[in-house]
Structure 1
Amino acid sequence: MAYPNEAAPSGQHPAPLPADSEPTGSGPEAHGPRLASVVVFVHDLDASADFYQELLKMEVTVRTATAALLVGRSGFQVYIRAVGPHAAHPVGHVGAQYVIWTADSPADFQRCERVLRARSDQVDTRHGEGFTVIEGRDPSGLPVLVAYPGPEEAARLEIISRIYV
């Protein structure tokens, strides 16, 4: 079984790499591309920008009449694009369905839970093997999931039930 070149946090096991993928060096290119941005289409730009700013602790760096760019401390970006109050979001169609965020700490996870409970009428908590996921809704009704700890600290050994619902 192949593992990434980096050591796992103490007491944890890294997730195995697929059998046909071996690390090919020690530089950043050895790990392949990483996710840098997410684009979210929303009903109300102001409400959504406020929500994601508070939940994800990001700053709005660019804003137009119909879009905003939020940037986090690590440089990760969330583009929010208003598409109107009646635009549909069909679940189960081809394409990305959910983004699962990882809280920085237990205290940050509790903060995210407070934000979701204060701003969402649908909040659910699930426990996996070694991690917890809370799910709420953004102002457009889109699912928002936050997990703790992240996959770097607790390898995912199961597929969460939300993927099948």
Structure 2
Amino acid sequence: MTLGAVVLYVCDLQESVTFYRALLGLQESDWGTTTAALLFNPEGFQLYLRSVGIQAAHALGAVGTQFVVWAAPSSTALKRCEEWLKEQKAHIHTGTADGITWVEGRDPSHLPVMVTYPRSGQAVHHQILARIYAW
């Protein structure tokens, strides 16, 4: 099994489309609406963005998905993500544990964003990343 798609509810649709296209190198589908967009990559992964308004809350620490960990294809790509997040003033932390490097940030809706390298299958976690408990 592999992850096929992620659905994110966001505050500002266009701002989030711009953010995730730039950070993750995704393309935008022509099938979007005024409140939803579909981003994808050539491998078939899909990211659905759905605008729920500026005042919408995200219950961090409640039941449900808290954040998605994205995997960079190379250390160069991870460094590009880190620099881009810093340029956007969205970078929080960069760290390494168990042979895996991660970059943390916040998206325009203030949702946690994490990108790691190497990706699954290239490195095996032997412990739960401490960052999982620190949000």
Task: Bin the TM-score by the shorter chain.
Answer: over 0.9
Contact 1:120-1:138 at 8 Å conserved across structures: no
Q: Which one has a bigger Cα radius of gyration?
A: 1
Aligned ranges for residues 46-65 of structure 1 at < 5 Å?
46-61=14-29, 62-65=31-34
Deviation by residue 1:115-143 (Cα, 9 ceiling, x = unmatched):
11112344211211111111001011001
Structure 1 distance, partners of 2:87, 2:42, is: 24
Q: Which runs of 4+ in 1 moved over 4 A?
A: none
Give the counterpart letter for 2:99 in structure 1. Answer: G
Give the counterpart letter for 2:118 in structure 1. Answer: P
Structure 2 distance, partners of 1:146, 1:121, is: 13
Give unmatched runs, 5+ long, in structure 1: 1-32
Aligned ranges for residues 1-165 of structure 1 at < 5 Å?
33-61=1-29, 62-165=31-134
The sequence identity of aligned pairs, in percent, is 44
Structure 2 distance, partners of 1:79, 1:121, is: 21
Give the counterpart letter for 2:7 in structure 1. Answer: V
Give the counterpart letter for 2:113 in structure 1. Answer: V
Provide TM-score, normalisation by structure 1. Answer: 0.78
Give the counterpart letter for 1:49 in structure 2. Answer: V
The count of residues paired between Structure 1 and Structure 2 equals 133
Structure 2 distance, partners of 1:150, 1:157, is: 14
Q: Which protein, 1 or 2, shows the higher relative CO under an 8 Å CA cutoff with sep ≥ 6? A: 2
RMSD, matched Cα: 1.0
Provide TM-score, normalisation by structure 2. Answer: 0.94
